[in-house]
């Protein structure tokens, strides 16, 4: 059993990464039931009681451990930590900014902290602040990222060499080959996002899932949002934004995410996904994904 299995309390060291408004309780519970570790997301959550209800709904579906992500850019993130503790969540990921204010608070609440880092510097900083593990997330991953652009294949061994805490690899992993490669690079676990969108249990609109399935390895690009960028699918709007032909950036709000990701309005916003979309060719149940990887 790896240190990551122990940290998560899961059979397999496989985390379903947080994904804004599409980490529905059915998805999170299905991942944990299949032996992985599901994560609820709070990046766009506007009310602590909504998070509490999501936790309760997930607990109705599984008695296995699951966690939550705290997204530093959300001004309510520290408030959410209290709800997580009250509801018995034992392990969280922290992403989207400095974890400095979060690590001592979460530890005082009895919660283990995994920090998402896109560079060696970020990973070493997280270790120095007392993080229990790091997710080393390469630039081929879907969603929000910075501007450094280090690939998973370089980042993971560099972070493994630089820190003593367990390293979890993210970005570009979608099947047993990616999982084995991550372990060969020295990671003790993996986090996957895009692979879990294209599953039966994910609440994402079928259009979103089908575009992932139809994409090849060139099917995503980077949309500059100013303070950060987003790796997104080359829908018509996505392509215009990637090429900067269209400079009216869509809002990055809960409403926009729901309209695009759940309702399938492709002109409301972008569909984040990683380059691994090019390796995804079906929409299986979560259990099939996890069993192919670790079973």
Ligand X SMILES: Cc1cc2nc3c(=O)[nH]c(=O)nc-3n(C[C@H](O)[C@H](O)[C@H](O)COP(=O)(O)O)c2cc1C
Instruction: List residues binding ligand X (CB under 6 A).
Output: 17-20, 41, 43, 69, 71, 93, 95, 116, 137, 140-143, 170-173, 191-195, 272-274, 276
- Give least dist CB 222 to ligand X, A: 13
The number of angstroms, rounded, from the C-alpha of 192 to the middle of its chain's C-alpha atoms is 6
- Give least dist CB 274 to ligand X, A: 3
Shorter beta-carbon distance to ligand X: residue 41 or 158: 41
Shorter beta-carbon distance to ligand X: residue 62 or 260: 260
Shorter beta-carbon distance to ligand X: residue 53 or 63: 53
Distances (CA, A) of 21 to 18, 70, 205, 236, 284: 9, 13, 12, 22, 20
Shorter beta-carbon distance to ligand X: residue 63 or 218: 218
Shorter beta-carbon distance to ligand X: residue 211 or 276: 276
- Give least dist CB 257 to ligand X, A: 8
d(C-alpha 100, C-alpha 33), whole Å? 32
- Give least dist CB 140 to ligand X, A: 6
Q: Which residue, judged by CB position, is nearest to ligand X in the bound state?
A: 193
- Give least dist CB 32 to ligand X, A: 16
Shorter beta-carbon distance to ligand X: residue 92 or 163: 92
Shorter beta-carbon distance to ligand X: residue 63 or 165: 165
Q: What is the 3-state secondary structure (H, E, C) of the chain?
A: CCHHHHHHCCCCCEEECCCHHHCCHHHHHHHHHCCCECEECCCCCCCHHHHHHHHHHHHHHCCCCCEEEEECCCCCHHHHHHHHHHCCCCEEEEECCCCCCHHHHHHHCCCEEEEEECCHHHHHHHHHCCCCEEEEECCCCCEEECCCCCCHHHHHHHHHHHCCCCEEEECCCCCHHHHHHHHHCCCCEEEECHHHHCCCCCCCCHHHHHHHHHCCCCCEEEEECCCCEEEEECCHHHHHHHCCCCCCCCCCCHHHHHHHHHCCCCCCCCCECCHHHHHCCCCCCHHHHHHHHHC
- Give least dist CB 231 to ligand X, A: 8
Q: Are strands 143-145 and 229-233 parallel, antiparallel or unpaired?
A: antiparallel
- Give least dist CB 19 to ligand X, A: 4
- Give least dist CB 170 to ligand X, A: 4
Residues 6+ apart with CB under 8 A from 151: 138, 139, 140, 171, 172
Shorter beta-carbon distance to ligand X: residue 1 or 173: 173
């Amino acid at each position: 059993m790896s240190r990551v299995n122990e940290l998560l309390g899961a059979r397999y060291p496989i985390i379903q990464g947080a994904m804004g408004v599409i980490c529905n309780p059915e998805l999170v519970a299905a991942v944990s039931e299949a032996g992985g570790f599901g994560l609820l997301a709070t990046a766009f959550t506007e009310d602590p009681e909504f998070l509490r209800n999501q936790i309760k709904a997930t607990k109705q579906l599984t008695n296995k451990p699951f966690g939550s992500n705290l997204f530093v850019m959300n001004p309510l993130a520290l408030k959410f930590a209290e709800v997580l503790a009250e509801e018995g969540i034992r392990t969280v990921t922290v992403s989207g900014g400095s974890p400095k204010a979060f690590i001592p608070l979460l530890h005082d609440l009895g919660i283990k902290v995994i920090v998402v880092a896109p560079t060696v510097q970020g990973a070493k900083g997280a270790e120095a602040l007392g993080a229990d593990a790091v997710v080393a997330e390469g630039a081929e991953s879907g969603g929000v990222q910075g501007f450094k652009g280090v690939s998973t294949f370089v980042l993971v061994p560099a972070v493994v060499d630089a820190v003593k805490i367990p390293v979890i690899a993210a970005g570009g992993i979608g099947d047993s080959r990616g999982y084995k490669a991550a372990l060969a690079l020295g990671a003790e676990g993996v986090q996957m996002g895009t692979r879990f969108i294209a599953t039966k249990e994910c609440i994402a609109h079928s259009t979103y899932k089908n575009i992932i399935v139809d994409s090849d390895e060139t099917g995503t690009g980077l949309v500059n949002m100013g303070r950060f960028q987003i790796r997104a699918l080359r829908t018509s709007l996505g392509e215009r934004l990637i090429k900067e032909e269209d400079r009216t950036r869509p809002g990055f709000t809960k409403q926009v995410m729901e309209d695009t990701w759940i309702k399938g309005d492709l002109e409301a916003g972008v569909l984040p996904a990683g380059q691994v979309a090019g390796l995804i060719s079906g929409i299986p149940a979560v259990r099939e994904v996890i069993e192919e990887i670790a079973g």
